[in-house]
Structure 1
Amino acid sequence: MQALDYFNARLEATISPMDFLKAKQMNPEKYVLIDVRNGPIHVRNVTIKDAHIIPEQELQSRLNEIPKEKEIIVYCWDVWCNTAAKVAKFLLEHGYKVKELTGGIAAWKEMNFPVTNTNQDNHIPDDCGC
């Protein structure tokens, strides 16, 4: 793979927090942002504002909640977590248009972009699966 091919593929598969905010402002109905993090609820209590919460472990049973006509943006914890990449691959295999939010929620919070505190009652196993 040539360097140009790599960077083109990377840009096609990812979106930065700043680029996502700009794109969402220009066309708010085009995108669905999904928090796919696994792990204990107490560490997932902060999420990106307006994100849908569908942990990777629940994805198959909740696929009907994800609209195929929109561009799906998925995120997980940080650059070291590959959960969003796993979810993106799965969704692409099922006919969705998907990008991964670069840097996950860590990058989003570092840039002081809007977050929401959530209170979830459902039990998710403590193993994050990253």
Structure 2
Amino acid sequence: MSVPVPSPSAVTAVPAARNAEALAHFAARLAFETDVSDVAADLAAGVTDIVVVDSRSREGWEQGHVLGAVHLPTALIAERARSVVPSGVTVVTYCWGPGCNGATRAALELAGLGYPVKEMLGGFEYWAREGFPVETVAGVSRRSVDALTAPVSGIACAC
């Protein structure tokens, strides 16, 4: 009688990194990325050492943007960053959402100019889906929280 051999795990087919490598990797990710909840908390608290940059087109900006963000399309960063983003701040970039790398391109441009920069994970999509204030020419509004992105109670997920 043979003992069945369990099939290999899809998760562990490639072993997890050693602890030192994992520590370096995850610390590095947090140095490069932030999330919409942390950005919203800082903006609501009036934190002055960050500037949130919307790197989308004028049409995207007008459709709705993060309340308190500045509009600086990626193609104009080299030309306009010094007049729009003060020195001594950390820049947080965003674009449409997780399927768009516009915030990454904008962060690269800003880093090349010497700014400390982080990318806001989830972009405008998750900002709006989590119910944070969206500004348009018509004013400021909030959408209902999407239960797949945040607690609908409004209480932070405390991740």
Instruction: Say whether the fold is shared (TM-score over 0.5).
Output: yes
Query: 1:50, 1:43 → 2: CA distance?
Result: 12
Unaligned residue ranges in structure 1 (runs of 5+): 120-130
CA RMSD in angstroms comes to 2.1
> TM-score when scaled to structure 1?
0.80
Q: Which has the larger radius of gyration?
A: 2
Q: Does 1:45 align with 2:63?
A: yes
Residue matched to 1:116 = 135
- What corresponds to 1:74 in structure 2? 93
Q: Secondary structure at the residue paired with 2:65?
A: strand
Instruction: Look up the match of 1:105.
Output: 124
TM-score by length of 2: 0.67
Higher RCO structure, 1 or 2 (CA under 8 Å, sep 6+)? 1
Quote the residue 1:95 is aligned against.
114
Distance 1:26 1:43 in 2: 23
Q: Deviations over 1:51-89 (max 9, x none)?
A: 101111211211222112111111000111111111111
Equivalent residues of 1:24, 1:30 under 8 A apart: no
Q: Is 1:6 matched with 2:25? A: yes
Q: Which runs of 5+ in 2 are unaligned?
A: 1-16, 139-159
Runs of 4+ in structure 1 off by over 6 angstroms are none
Residue correspondences, number: 118
The 8 Å contact of residues 37 and 44 in structure 1, kept in 2 or not, is answered as no
Instruction: Give a deviation string over 1:30-66, Cα, whole Å, max 9, x none.
Output: 111110013x616752011111011112112112221
Indicate if the aligned counterparts of 1:34 and 1:72 stay in contact, CA closer than 8 A: yes
Contact preservation (8 Å) 1:92, 1:98: yes
Q: What's the % identity of the aligned pairs?
A: 28
CA distance in 2, matches of 1:94, 1:68: 11
